[in-house]
Structure 1
C-alpha cells in the first residue's frame, strides 16, 4: 500500500463537543477472590473487605491492548450510528502496552480499518482516559478533528506479580471507548488536571523487567485528602453544583475510596459507579467501563450531568463534567 498525503482538512471550529456514545469490552474469563486468594493465603472475604472487589476479568491469550480497545471502539461507533470512515483521530489511554512502540492507537485504528488516521497514545495511568477525553475535546472544538475515538484499554495482569497480595488481588483487564463529536452546546466541560511527580514512586513499574509496585495506604491518603477539591473545581468549571450531579464516575481503585469521595463532595444523590465490585481495577479503562455499566443499567439517562475523575500513577489526576450520551 502506498501512501499519498492529501491537503490538510480544517473543519469549522465549534462551540463545544459531546460524547456521542460509549461502549465496553470485558474479557470472558471471570476470576473470583477465592481463586486469587487461596494461593496467597488470604480469604475471599478479606479481599472484598479491603478493596471492595468480588471478582474481576482477566484477558485471554488473544486479548491484546489494541484488540480490546478496537472491540470497545467498534461498539461505540455502532451505538453512535457512525463507522470507521467517519473517524479522523484515535487516542488510546494505556499504561500496559508490552513495548514502547509502535503506539497502540495506530493498531486500534488499523484493526478498525482506518490505518492512516491520526493516532497516538496517552500514558497518565489511571487518569489516562480523562486526560485523553480532555485532549479530544480541545481538538474537536478547534476544528482539527470532526470525530475522535477516545479509548482506555489495559492488560494490567501482564505487569502484576501474582505472588504480591497488594497488587495481584486488585488489578484486572478490559477496555472502554467514547466517540467525541462537535456540538453547538458544551457536552464536555473543561478538564481539571495535574500531577505530583514528587509522589510518583507510590505507584510505579520501575523498569520493563519489573512488576507494578504500589504503596496503597499512601495513595489512599492522597486521594481522600487532596482530590475532593479537584472534583469541586471540575463542577465549578461546568457550573454544576455537586448535589445536582446525576452520575459520579471515578477511577475504580477502591470501593471505600469511591464512597468517601462521593460523600465528602456531596454527590451522594448521584448514581455512584461501583464497577470495581465486578471488574476490579483496570487503570485507564476503569472510567469508561464504569460509565458504560451505569448507562446499561439504566441508572443514567441521556443529558444527565456526570462527573468523571481519574487518578493514579504519576501521581496524575484529571476530572471533568460531561453530558451523558
Structure 2
C-alpha cells in the first residue's frame, strides 16, 4: 500500500539569551515602537558564543524524539534546513546525527534560506512515500544573528536564532497527521533582493542584505498563489483551513495573507513577537508551540508557507 508521512511529534529549542528591542535601541538608531510597528517583534533569542546550529538542532531533535517516546537509533533519515551551517562541510545534519546518536540514519542539509523547512519537508515526505525510509527527522536550525550587520536595523532587529524539528513516520492511513502535499517555487532572477554577501567562492564572508519593501510585495503575491495552489491540489477551499502557521518573517506579511484568505486572528499562529525571524526554524518552532499549548487538534487542516532568499517560496498542507 502507498505510504504517507505521518507526523509523530514536534520539538523545539530556543537559546537562553533574550535580546529585547530596548537592548538593540542602545546600539543602533531604532526604538521599541519602530521595531514593533514595522515587524511585530518585541524580543528574540541569540545563541551563546560557541553555541552552533547543530547544538540547537540536536536539542530540537531530542525534544521531538522524547515527545514521541522514540530512540534516535530508530531514525532512518535526517534532513536539516539551515543557512548558517556549522562548517562549509561536513553538513550540519551529519553533526546532528552524531550528537543525538542516530547511527542508522543517513543525513544531509538543504539550503533554501527561510523556505528551507518546506524544502526539507518535501524531500523527507517524498522519500517516505517512495518507500526508501520509514522514519525521518526534518529540522530547521539557524544562528541568523551571526550573519546580520549589527548596525543595520533593516536586518539586525528582525533575525534571530532557534531550532524546530518534526518526526515523520511512514503510515498507510492517509487521514492521520499526514502531509497532504508540498508546493515549491524559486526564481533566481530575484536573488539580489535578499542575499548574504561573499561566501567560499568569493574567499570572504559578509553580512546579509534585504530589500524589505520589494520582498514584502512579492511575499504577499507569491505566497498567496502558493497557498491557493495547495488548496486547489487537494480540492479544498480557504474555508477548510483550521490553522495558518506561516513563516514568521514579518507580522505585516502574516496579517496581509490572513486577511487575503479571510482568516481570523484566532486561526493564525504568531510567534514572531517573541521568537523573531528564525529563518528555516520558524515554521517548526511555531508548530511546536501550537501543538504543545493544545491549539492544534486531531483532524485540523494546517497550511504552511514561507519565502526566502533565492528567491525561494512554497506552501504545504497538513492534516493533523
TM range (shorter): over 0.9
Question: Quick check: 1:14–1:182 contact (8 Å CA) kept in 2?
Answer: no
State the secondary structure of the residue aligned to 1:91: strand
> Does residue 15 of structure 1 match 2:11?
no
Q: For 1:274 and 1:182, how far apart are their aligned partners in 2?
A: 29
Distance verdict in 2 for CA 1:88–1:121, change over 3 Å:
same
Query: Which residue, out of 248, 252, 256, partners 1:252?
Result: 248
Query: What is the DSSP-based 3-state SS (H/G/I as helix, E as strand, rest coil) of the residue aligned with 1:319?
Result: strand
Say if 1:94 and 1:122, in contact at 8 Å, map to a contact too. Answer: yes
CA RMSD of aligned residues (A): 1.4
Partner residue of 2:268? 272
SS in structure 2 of the partner of residue 256 of structure 1:
helix
TM score, norm. by length of structure 2: 0.94
Correspondences of 1:71-150 after superposition (within 5 Å):
71-115=59-103, 117-150=105-138
Aligned residue number for residue 294 of structure 1: 290
Deviation at 1:81, TM superposition (A): 2.0
Q: Structure 2, unaligned stretches of length 5 or more?
A: 200-204
Please report how far the alpha carbon of residue 62 of structure 1 lies from its aligned counterpart in structure 2 after TM superposition: 4.0
Distance 2:86 2:148 in 1: 13
Aligned: 1:202 with 2:193: yes
Contact 2:54-2:86 within 8 A present in 1 as well:
no
Unaligned runs of 5+ in 1: 1-12
| Of 284-293 and 183-192, the range deviating more from structure 2 | 183-192
How far apart, CA to CA, are the structure 2 residues paired with 1:231 and 1:302?
A: 21
The C-alpha deviation readout for 1:132-181, integer Å capped at 9, x for no partner, is: 11111110111101100000000001111101111110000000000011
Preserved contact between residue 243 and residue 270 of structure 1 (Cα < 8 Å): no
Matches within 5 A, 1:26-41: 26-41=14-29
Q: Is the 8 A contact 2:181 2:318 kept in 1?
A: no
Partner SS state of residue 236, structure 1 = helix
The one of 279, 282, 288 equivalent to 2:278 is 282
Going by fraction, where is strand more abundant, 1 or 2?
Answer: 2
User: For residues 148 and 189 of structure 1, what CA distance do their matches in structure 2 show?
Assistant: 16
Structure 1 CA distance for aligned equivalents of residues 184 and 234 of structure 2: 14
8 A contact 1:139–1:145 mirrored in 2: yes
